[in-house]
Amino acid sequence: MCRNIKTLYNFAPPATESEVRASAIQFVRKLSGFAHPSKANEAAFDRAVEQVTLVARELLDSLVTNAPPRDRAVEAVKARERAAVRFGRPSPEQRPSASAGDR
């Protein structure tokens, strides 16, 4: 579940509200053990997501660094390269292109 929680701090452009909320949902899912809460737990789950979203935004807004913001596109390429090594699959840049004769 938590593999989907991404680092949101110090990126250009900054994290959007939907990214912060998505991370909050993943965090609450991990804590509760529910991917989707039952009707009986839905209000508590939703309240927790809202509170975690607010606290996460407050944290991101209050952090300070001297490092320059990281570029999202560059970091995405690095992540794909790490995944290719980890899972033994070539990244899109490493895959051979299909020619007309291969079809």
DSSP codes joined into one string, 6-60: ---SSEESPPPHHHHHHHHHHHHHHHH--SS--HHHHHHHHHHHHHHHHHHHHHH
Establish if 94 belongs to a structural domain.
no
Q: Is the pLDDT of residue 42 over 90?
A: yes
Q: How far apart are CA 56 and CA 77, in angstroms?
A: 26
More confident call, 96 vs 76: 76
Return the bridge partners of 12, or none. 71
Question: Domain range spanning residue 23?
Answer: 2-88
User: Collapsing DSSP states into helix, strand and coil, what is residue 71?
Assistant: strand
Average pLDDT estimate for 29-49: 95
The mean pLDDT of the chain is: 87
Query: To 5 degrees, how large is the angle CA 75–CA 78–CA 81?
Result: 155
Number of domains composing the chain = 1
Mind listing the pLDDT tens digit for each residue in 47-83? 999 999 999 999 999 999 999 999 988 988 998 899 8
For residues 47 and 32, the answer to whether their CB atoms sit within 8 Å is no
> What's residue 4's pLDDT?
63
Establish if 24 belongs to a structural domain.
yes
